[in-house]
Amino acid sequence: MIIGIVAIAQNFAIGKDGKLPWHYSADLKFFKQTTSGNAIVMGRKTFDSIGKPLPNRLNIVLSRSAAFESSPHILNLRSKEQVLALKEYLKGEVFIIGGATIYQEFADVIEKWIVTEVPLMVEDADAFMTPDFLENFEEKEKIEFEEDLLVKVYVRKIKR
């Protein structure tokens, strides 16, 4: 299954100056527990903001740059099609973790969204989710965390 996982502010902001514009330990712990043992797909800018491969996950970085190369802990792929082909050989889930361009690129194949709603407005953010990204999804679950964080799980509606 291909799953989008994102934390968003009330104004759909997801980033500022190449970083998350907030720090919630409960959300980071949830992200780690949810994605561990699976593949995570990110763009090069997201990887640069993290600064290192995340442990216990297959770190896939999408980059068309010849200067960015795979390493023992990072698999560099060049396209969405390569990720989808690789998915057939993986045992776990594939989590799309950002940034905004990568979310948009995979929007048509994401089957489930895990969305942490952050109780903030980030006025000077520079990366956003599109307001309609959950348009063809229905809410299936809510998880409440401390610090007024709410995680909602959405699944794609079945076309009839």
Domain containing 90 — which CATH number?
A: 3.40.430.10
The answer to whether the CB of 40 falls within 8 A of the CB of 57 is: yes
Q: Which of 116, 126, 101, 132 is nearest to 35 (CA)?
A: 116
- pLDDT of the residue at 66: 67
Query: Does a structural domain hold residue 116?
Result: yes
Query: Does a structural domain hold residue 86?
Result: yes
Query: Does a structural domain hold residue 20?
Result: no
- pLDDT of the residue at 72: 78
Domain housing 112: 2-6+25-156
- Order the strands of the 94-98 sheet from edge to edge: 74-77, 58-62, 39-43, 94-98, 2-8, 112-117, 150-156, 137-144
Query: Does a structural domain hold residue 13?
Result: no
Query: Does a structural domain hold residue 17?
Result: no
Query: Does a structural domain hold residue 18?
Result: no
Give the model confidence (pLDDT) of 84-141 as tens digits.
999 999 999 999 999 999 999 999 999 999 999 999 999 999 999 999 999 999 999 9
Provide the domain count of the chain.
1
The answer to whether the CB of 34 falls within 8 A of the CB of 27 is: no
Give the model confidence (pLDDT) of 3-49 as tens digits.
999 999 999 999 999 889 999 999 999 999 999 999 999 999 999 89
Query: Does a structural domain hold residue 108?
Result: yes
- pLDDT of the residue at 160: 55
- pLDDT of the residue at 148: 87
Examine the pLDDT at 1 and tell me if it is beyond 90. Answer: yes
